[in-house]
Structure 1
Amino acid sequence: MSATANATDRLRVLEAITDVELRHMELDESLLALLGKVCALFEVDTATILLYDATTQRLGVRATVGIEEEIRRGVTVDLGAGFSGRIAATRRPLVLDRVDQTTVSSAALWRKGLRALLGVPILVRDELIGVLHVGSLTERAFTEADTHLLLLVADRVALAIQAETTSAERAATTALQRSLLPTRFPVVDGLCFDARYVPGAVAGLGGDWYDVFVLPSGRVGVVIGDVAGHGLAAAVVMGRLRSALRAYALENDSPAQVLTKLNGKVSHFERTSMATVAYAVIDLTDRTVTVSSAGHPPPVLAAPGHPSILAPITPDPPVGLGLHTGRPRRDTVLNLPNGAVLAFYTDGLVERRGHALDPYLDRLTEAVTPESPAVVCGRVMDTLVEPEPTQDDIALLVARFLAP
C-alpha cells in the first residue's frame, strides 16, 4: 500500500469513528454503532469489544456485531487463554488465519465459520481496558496497515469506555461511601462527637472511613481507618472492613483482639488489600479509653489544664497483606478527665508530598483543644486544609468527654 493510500485510509477511519452522532449516544449504543462502522470500513463480518476485569483477570464481551450469541451466553475469557486472552496478556495485536477449537476459546467464533481474525488491545496509558477484534467469513490476509487502523479504533474505544467508567465508578463510590459513613452519631450521656470528611480532588473518593457505635456492654466503639488505594475498589474493601470490625467488636472486649481478627480476615480474603486502622473502646464508667493501632497515626489528646499531645500509642503493623511480626497486638489505656478531647484523623490531613510530616503534626496538635467537637473540627480544617484541592482523602473524628 502506498503512503498516499495509507494516509487516505487513516483519514477515512478517523472521520468515521469520530462521527459527531456517536457523542449523543449511551455507551453501549455508541459502541454498537462504532462496531457497525468498523465492519463496513474493514469489510469484515464480525466486530467485538471485550472488557477486562482486573479483579477476576477475565475478559467479558461488552458489545459485538455479527456474533450476538456471545452477549446472550455471557462469554468470558481468561487472561492468556485463547485468541482474546493472548492479546490481553501480551498487549500486542494478533492475526489468526485459522479459527478452530485449538486457536480460540469462544466456540461462537469457530461455529460462526470465521476464517480469519485480527485483534488488538484496548489500552489507556499502558493500562489494559480490553480487546477489540474483527473477523472474516472468507479467506483474508490482514495486513500491517489493517492492524494500525484497528489500533486507531481501539484508541477511540478506550477514551469512550474510560470516560463512562470513570463517571459510573465515581457515582458508585460516592453512593457507597455516603451509605457507610455515619449520618448521625449515637446519643450517649457524657459523650459528644463531630467529624469531617473531604474526598481527594485528584484521586477521588477512596477507602477512608470512621465509625462510632454503642456496644452491648454500654461502652462505645470508635474507629478510623484508611484502605490503601482509591476509587470504587478501595471503597468496597472499606465497606467489608467496616462490617467485619463491627462483628468482631461484638465478640471481643479488647481492641487489639478485634484488630488481630480483622488482620486475619483481610490477609485471607482480601489478599492484595492493606489498611491502617485505629480502634478505641470508651468506658464512661471509669473514664478511660482503650486504643489499639494497626499502623494508624496516633490520635491527639487534649485535656483541660494540659498541653495537647499525640497520644502515647505504639502502632502495630497495618492489617492485610499477611503483615504480622509474630508479636501480639497491643492495647493502650488512656485516662480521660472531664472536658478531654480525643481527635482521630487519617494521614491525608497531615501528609504533604515532598514535605516533612512533623510540622503538620505540630499544627494539628496546636489546633486540638478541650472545646466542643464542632469548634475543634472547624479549627483543624481551617489550620491544615489548604486552598488548593487535597491530594488525598481527609477524615477527622473528634470526641469530647463530659460529666454525665
Structure 2
Amino acid sequence: MIKRVQSELSRYLRTETVGGALLLIAAAAALVWANSPWSASYHTLVETHLNISALHLDLTVAQWSADGLLAVFFFVAGLELKREFVVGELADPRRAILPVAAALGGVVAPALIAMVVGGDAPGMDSGWAIPVATDIAFALAVLAITGSRLPLGARVFLLSLAVVDDLVAILLIAILFTASMSFAWLGVAIACCVAWALAQKARLHTVFFYLPIALVCWYALHEAGVHPTLAGVALGLLTRVRRDPDEKTAPATHLEHVVQPISAGICVPLFALFASGVPLNGSVFGSLFTDRLALAIIFGLLIGKTVGIFGTSWVLIRFGLAKRPTGLGYGDMFALSVLGAIGFTVSLLIAELALADVGQTSIDLAKAAVLVTSVAASLIGSALLLRRGRVHHARHDADEPAPAQGEGSTK
C-alpha cells in the first residue's frame, strides 16, 4: 500500500512540474501582454462579463477564473491531503502534526509581520492576509526541478504544508470577505457535502451523480456569500482514499488521475493568465520598496513565511512533539521553508479581494509585490535545494558499499 501511494505521489509531482511550467508561462504572457501596446485588449478580456442570467451569475472573466477554475485546483489539493493523512506518511500522528503546525506558523508569522510593517496604511485592515498563502503548484515545481536529489519526505512535507496553508487561507477568505451570508444556501452546500460523503460510503461510482452535486455545492456557496473555492477542498476531503478488494483504484486516486491534468494544464494557467497582468511601469517599481503595503507583503512573505515555517518545525522537533520527515536535516527544512514564501495563486486572489475597495492602483502594487517576492523566494530556495542535493548525493555515495574484488563492468 505504501509503495503504491508513493508511486502515485511521485507521478503527481512529476505532472506538477509541467503544470508549474505552464503556470509560469501563463504569468509571463500576462505580464508581457499587460505591458505591451496591446494592453487595452488584455484588460478588456479580463473585465468582460460572462452572464448566466437564469442563475443570476454575472461575473467577469477574471472572477470566473478565481471562483470557478481555482475550485478545481483545490479539489485536487483536497484529494492529495486526504490521502496523505489516511494512507500516506502523515498517517502517523507525530509526522502529521509537523506540516500542519508548520503551516499554521507560516500563516501567523507573515500576518503579524505584515501588520507591524503595514501599520495603518490604506488596505491593511484586511491586506495583512495577502502574504499568508503558499502556492502549491509553483513551490512543487521548483522543488521537482531543483530538489530532485532530496528524499521523498521533502515532497510530502511541502505538499502537506502547502495544502493546509491554502486551506487556512481559503477559510480566511470565507471569514474576512463575506459581507453577508445566506444560511439557507449554506445549508444547501452542507447537504451537498453530506450527499457526497454518503454516496462515497455507499460505493456509488457514477459521474452523473457526483458532477451535479459538485456544481450545486459550488453554486450554493457562491449564493451563500462564501468563497466557492471552499467547495473543492470540502469535496476532496470527503472522497474515499482506501481501495476495496473489487476496485482497481480508490475513488480519490481515480479522480486525481482524471482531474489533476485539467487543473494543472488548464485551470491554474488560465487563472495565472487572467490574474497576473500587472502594469510594471516606473511608478509601480518605485513604490515597491517605499509603499508600506508593498513592504508589508514583501517582508510578510519572504521573512514571515520562512521564520514561521522553519521556527515552528524546529521547536516541535527539538522538544519531541513531532517527528522530522524521513531523511531530512534542518538544512533541508530551511530550504523548504523558503519555498513556502512563494505566494502566487492564492495571494493574488486575496489581493484582489482585500483591496477591492481601495483601488486598482493598490491591487496592482500588491500583485507586483507578490510576484517579485515569489520570484526571489524561488531563486533563493532553488540555490539552497541544489546545495542540499549535493550534500545528499555525496552522503549516498559515501554510504554505498565498495564493489567486491573482481567485480566490474561486463563487456
Shared fold, TM over 0.5: no
Rg (Cα) greater in structure: 1
Q: Aligning the two structures, in what range does the TM-score lie when normalised by the shorter sequence?
A: under 0.3
Higher relative contact order (CA 8 A, sep 6+): 2
